[in-house]
Structure formats: structure tokens, C-alpha cells
């Protein structure tokens, strides 16, 4: 695989993991980061934090200029697996359905992407990180030392997500979850700016029929001598 060069432990490096929603990226990315002893950065959570801020500001509509003004005044941080918005821990709040929907809208806006991509690049400039999202290998860190595209069929992702929600006691139907996944796939892939795309030099991992540990081992297999 062209992108998987021998790591030099003295140099900070980025492990970029992209893929569609509900593909299990974040679970694997967290485990990879723990095994490598480096930080995990969830860029989807950053878009969700902007969405939460927009939902909270009643006067902020959907206009790009308004959201752009809002985002430039926000302080978004990630530490120890938590997401902070202006110092407040919003890790759980940003998972609400309203936030998921609004995150999809705000992530289309150039003003928002410009701010968040700059933040993501600043984070990865001086320390080693595992970063997951939709455009990390293709846009944020095109020179990332390791690049992965983790995906699964929409049917498999819907099946897993339905099970996960039922286990959390959240009522949902497979058909609804499947429709939501298909819509999010379409939105992610057809966004004008930085759409979801597999970088040409990313390692493709299709996780249908694989457990988390098996996916983790596949990723680590490519990362020699961490």
C-alpha cells in the first residue's frame, strides 16, 4: 500500500480514518489510538458542536453568513474523549437526533468547514493523532502517514445501528434507520465542498461480517512499529 510508510517515532504522524456514517469508524479509531498511545480526534463531534451552538442561538437561522459568524466565535476542544464547547462538556448532548440533523446542514457550509479544517490541521500539526471523519485523508491531511477508508454495506450499517439503539433502550425500526443512513450517505457524498470520498492511496476495509477486534487488527497490520 503506497501510503503506509515505516513510522519514524520522533516525527508526529496522523492516522486518517474516513468512511460513511455508522461504519464503526469511531470505535475502531479510539482503539487504534489507545494501542498507539496517541490522541483520538473525532471531527464529526466538532461539526455536531457547531450544530448544537446553532440550535441554542434562537436568532441564528440557516443562512451561511449567520452560522459563519457564530462558528468563528466558538471554542471547540477535544480532550480525553470528551468534546468541549466554550468549555462546557457537550459529549452526550451532541448525539441528540436534532443535533445529528443540524450537523448535516452546517457541515455543508464553506464558512464552517474552513474554520473546522483549520482547527483540525492545527491539532495534527505538532502531535500524533488518530483522526476520523469524512474528508481527513482526502482534504484535511492529504499527506497523512496512514490512511484508511472504513465502510460496510448500508444494510450492515443499518442492522448494527438498529441493534445498538435497541440496546440503549431507544425505540427505532430497521427501515427508518436504513432510510436515514441512505440519506446521510447521499448528503455526505454529494456535498459541494470536501465530500466523502476514498482517497486514492487509502487502505479500504469493508467491515461486513467482521468484529471490532478483527477490524482493529487489520488497521494495526498496516501500521508497522508504532
Which residues here bind ligand DC, judged by CB under 6 A? 21, 43-45, 47-48, 103-104, 107, 133-135, 188
CB of 10 to ligand DC, least distance (A): 28
Specify whether the backbone of 14 is left (phi greater than 0), alpha (psi in -120 to 50) or beta: beta
Residue closer to ligand DC by CB (options 212, 224) is: 212
Check: CB of residue 16 under 8 Å from CB of residue 147.
yes
**Packed helices 110-126 and 43-56: angle between N→C axes, nearest 10 degrees:** 140
Residue closer to ligand DC by CB (options 3, 107) is: 107
Length of the chain: 226
Nearest one of 111, 118, 116 to 65, comparing CA atoms: 111
Residue closer to ligand DC by CB (options 26, 128) is: 26
Q: How far is CA 142 from CA 3, 26, 83, 91, 162, in A?
A: 10, 20, 25, 28, 34
* 196 three-state secondary structure: coil
CB of 225 to ligand DC, least distance (A): 28
Residue closer to ligand DC by CB (options 38, 112) is: 112
CB of 105 to ligand DC, least distance (A): 8
CB of 161 to ligand DC, least distance (A): 11
* Residue 153: φ, ψ to 5°: -65, 155
Residue closer to ligand DC by CB (options 44, 154) is: 44
CB of 107 to ligand DC, least distance (A): 3
Amino acid at each position: 500500500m503506497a501510503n503506509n510508510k515505516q513510522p519514524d517515532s520522533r516525527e508526529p504522524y496522523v492516522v486518517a480514518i474516513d468512511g460513511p456514517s455508522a461504519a464503526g469508524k469511531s470505535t475502531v479509531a479510539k482503539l487504534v489510538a489507545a494501542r498507539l498511545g496517541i490522541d483520538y480526534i473525532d471531527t464529526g463531534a466538532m461539526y455536531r458542536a457547531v450544530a448544537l451552538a446553532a440550535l441554542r442561538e434562537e436568532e441564528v437561522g440557516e443562512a451561511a453568513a449567520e452560522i459563519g459568524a457564530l462558528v468563528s466565535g466558538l471554542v471547540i476542544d477535544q480532550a480525553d474523549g470528551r468534546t468541549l464547547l466554550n468549555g462546557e462538556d457537550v459529549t452526550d448532548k451532541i448525539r441528540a437526533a436534532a443535533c445529528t440533523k443540524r450537523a448535516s446542514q452546517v457541515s455543508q457550509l464553506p464558512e464552517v468547514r474552513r474554520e473546522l479544517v483549520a482547527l483540525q490541521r492545527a491539532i495534527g500539526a505538532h502531535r500524533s493523532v488518530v483522526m476520523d471523519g469524512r474528508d481527513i485523508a482526502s482534504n484535511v491531511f492529504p499527506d497523512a502517514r496512514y490512511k484508511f477508508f472504513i465502510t460496510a454495506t448500508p444494510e450492515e450499517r443499518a442492522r448494527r445501528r438498529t441493534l445498538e439503539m435497541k440496546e440503549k433502550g431507544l425505540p427505532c425500526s430497521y427501515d427508518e434507520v436504513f432510510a436515514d443512513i441512505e440519506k446521510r450517505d447521499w448528503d455526505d457524498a454529494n456535498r459541494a465542498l470536501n465530500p466523502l470520498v476514498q482517497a486514492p492511496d487509502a487502505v479500504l476495509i469493508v467491515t461486513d461480517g467482521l468484529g471490532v477486534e478483527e477490524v482493529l487488527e487489520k488497521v494495526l497490520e498496516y501500521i508497522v512499529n508504532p
